[in-house]
Amino acid sequence: MLIIIFGMIAFTVAGAYWLARGAGEKRLVLAQNPDGPRAFGCAMAWLAIRSDDAESVIEAMRLEAATPCNWNSGIGAVYDDWLGAARIFVSPPVDGWTFVVGLPLPHPLGSGFVDKCTPLLVELGGRFDEVQYYFSYPPIDYYAWARVKDGRLVRAFAVSDEGIIWNKGRPSKEERALGLKLFELRGVRGRKGDAGGELILHPTEDHVMRLANRWSIDPTILCEEHAPVGLGYIAVPPHGWRAERLRKAA
């Protein structure tokens, strides 16, 4: 199911890209009057990067065709049914954090796919003091989070309706405080049936937002009071972020 869903997302990314190109400027109108933060996060992927320089973030991530826009246009674009599949919003800074928001961000997809998420996070971690990754997509019970500090991936986790697909580093104290613990039934891993394998208290979208609030900022509660008015950017993601299956050895 996970492979099918993300295959559909990848197809939509390509379709949306060509539709947007064909529709020209009439399809995407970006307001450039500075405004304050707008809430986001539900059914969305995003990075929180410790930086006050959106332009440096755009350069580091190799985003293309970056165009200034305000919060309202940027968040509206990434949530649009068509544009959102082929656009990334880079926000103005909020309390020392710059957000990179959009479903085209690389996602951990399991052992059958090239891992494009970890290398991106580690590369960004070499340029910024801290980088955090979040993804919440309730329709397929997909939830993920990761944290890079001082250039080192200290924690990465993702789970879907098919089980755990990404699990690096030890659970943080913030995760444990939310009751997100992974249990192993020792001695029965190889057995079939309900008694075998691993058990996890399955996270929810609320857990993702609460963890974001402990690590940086919960984006679902952002409002104009959190930061001065400003402009961010709408950009096109690199082609290299697209999902890619691992090639089988000949």
Q: Which residues contact 126 (CB under 8 A, 6 or more apart)?
A: 151
Per-residue pLDDT tens digits for 66-83:
999 999 999 999 999 989
User: Residues 35-69: pLDDT tens digits?
Assistant: 999 999 999 999 999 999 999 999 999 999 999 99
* Nearest-angstrom CA–CA distance, 8 and 97: 31
Nearest to 41 by CA among 159, 223, 208: 208
Query: For the whole model, what pTM was predicted?
Result: 0.83
| Residue 17, pLDDT score | 41
CA distance 70 to 201: 38
Angle among Cα 56, 44, 34 to the nearest 5 degrees reads 50
Dist. CA 72–CA 116, nearest whole Å: 29
The radius of gyration computed from the CA coordinates of the chain, to the nearest angstrom, equals 18
Q: How far apart are CA 168 and CA 182, in angstroms?
A: 12
